[in-house]
Chain A
């Protein structure tokens, strides 16, 4: 079984983003970029399935700027076999990405597509579900355990009240949550090896997909600031303050 893993280049999770003074967006110049953390978990899961002999090939794909090639190289260094880069100008919405991925799925015929549940830049949490809809496949979102068999996959999902398990017919779409696995660090030899792995360069036009955004960002602002309060010295003082503010009786 082939596994397709879409990955996104995003602002590194440890960067504290700053809103631009002109409110046109967040500052991206000279900011460290990395693979979306949920996508690292997806790559790790796919590579583990290959190491277990369940998967035969792991293909990674990224939709984004030319520099997303670095994100693909990271995935290749983690153990993916080859990459596809679909270069776009500017941000591409989840729906357009899902349409591009649906075309790539038609060409590649994977048994599983494993995506991160959301990207930590736009926090949309949409692409996997949309791809599953466009393909008419089952979706196992927010996965904390993924167990494929010959023609089905059992997915344990993190839900509001705890966990639930669904069984999906293959092929299927899985989106990963935080506790599915701990992604590996690529070793230096594997980083060197990844440089020789192939990456195919494509454009949305190659797939005949219109990626024109449907949403316009009118402005981006700072969230309301919460100011620090006071330090209390004792438990008694804390209880008194809470009683005075009316939150406890």
Chain B
């Protein structure tokens, strides 16, 4: 079957989430020997399209370059995709905030029941996906002729970013639907790696007690390790760090090589966001904290003395 992948990009460059989605799309296309195409919808997005064309296993890149698509407004992008979907058996989108915003709008336009955040492709019509914050895994079979799917990035390895040489073909849609406009963004500026793609993550919890403590204790350790900084929902709700630091079922799902949880008790919803990490370290003064039930290495004690010690000895 032929599969269209919605690229995640910022016009200038392609985001890694696209590569995970391509791997899922290849698995799906493999069931009937079809092609994987990538749609880059944006404004001035030639560079992102060129990057998509180099992904291993991508047969064609569709570039919809229009001011209406520059900010990825779902009202404008969804009709474009729904139109293109006539030529495909499935749409695969990364389960990023953008993919989650756009894909269901496409599904409704195409009268398809979406399958959200798949973890695996079992057959051309059968997938696994997490329910109840990852406390159960459902195997679901779709009766729809076309599939609309979002992909949990951590469940699929990244496709190779080079090795392909797909043609880039211009496509167009109906442009501005006249329903919405982009007013601005406040993006977190950081020299550290992005949370969802980082090899190492240092996360802080409510026990830090303040935003200043994050700066004083978490940041230096993260910088020493070349790590991204994350946080529990409690720390975000308390205003210590911005919302996009949140790791958990309702925040970001991560699976780094090393996850260091500092002063995080380990609520179910946090565990759901990080339990697929390769190695988990927990530092917490409460010996009974649930985080120790998933940690490979637990260190019981006061984070305000242990974390500086760890930072200085690394």
Contact = CB atoms under 8 A, between A and B. Distances in A.
Contact of A214 (B78, B101, B113): B113
A216 B126 CA distance: 9
Given A125-B100, A169-B178, A218 B140 contact: yes
A223 B112 contact: no
B299 interface: yes
- Scoring A118, A129, A226 by chain B CB atoms within 10 A of each residue's CB, the highest score goes to A129
Interface string B106-120: 111101111111000
- Scoring A26, A141, A160, A162 by chain B CB atoms within 10 A of each residue's CB, the highest score goes to A160
Given A134-B108, A159-B97, A231-B299, A166 B135 contact: no
Contacts of A239: 310, 313-314
Contacts of B249: 123
A95 B244 CA distance: 29
A199 interface: no
A74 to B, nearest CB: 21
Contacts of B131: 26, 121-123, 220
Interface string A144-157: 10000000001001
B133 interface: yes
The DSSP consensus for interface residues of chain B is mixed
A125 B243 CA distance: 18
B140 A242 contact: no
Nearest to B140: A215
Contact of A168 (B130, B180, B314): B180
Interface stretch (B27-35, B141-149, B203-211): B141-149
A84 B98 CA distance: 32
B273 interface: no
Contact of A242 (B132, B196, B244, B297): B297
Interface stretch (A11-19, A49-57, A103-111, A188-196): A11-19
B294 interface: yes
Contact of B181 (A167, A179, A214, A245): A167
Interface string B89-106: 000000011101111111
A162 B187 contact: yes
Contact of B298 (A166, A229, A235, A245): A229
B180 A167 contact: yes
A230 B116 contact: no
A178 B309 CA distance: 35
B211 to A, nearest CB: 15
A132 B107 CA distance: 12
Contacts of A87: none
Interface in B228-250: 233, 236-237, 242-244, 249-250
Interface in B202-222: none
20 contacts: A16-B135, A17-B136, A26-B131, A125-B100, A125-B104, A129-B105, A129-B108, A133-B105, A139-B75, A144-B243, A164-B183, A179-B237, A220-B139, A226-B280, A228-B293, A229-B297, A230-B298, A234-B299, A242-B279, A248-B314
The 9 closest A-B pairs by CB, nearest first: A229-B296, A129-B104, A130-B108, A214-B113, A133-B108, A138-B179, A126-B104, A164-B185, A247-B258
Given A230-B298, A248-B200, 12 more contacts: A118-B250, A126-B107, A133-B107, A138-B179, A142-B101, A165-B182, A214-B144, A218-B140, A218-B141, A219-B139, A230-B297, A235-B299
Interface of B: 73-75, 78, 96-98, 100-109, 111-117, 126, 130-144, 178-188, 196, 200, 225, 233, 236-237, 242-244, 249-250, 252, 257-258, 268, 275, 278-281, 292-300, 306, 309-310, 313-314
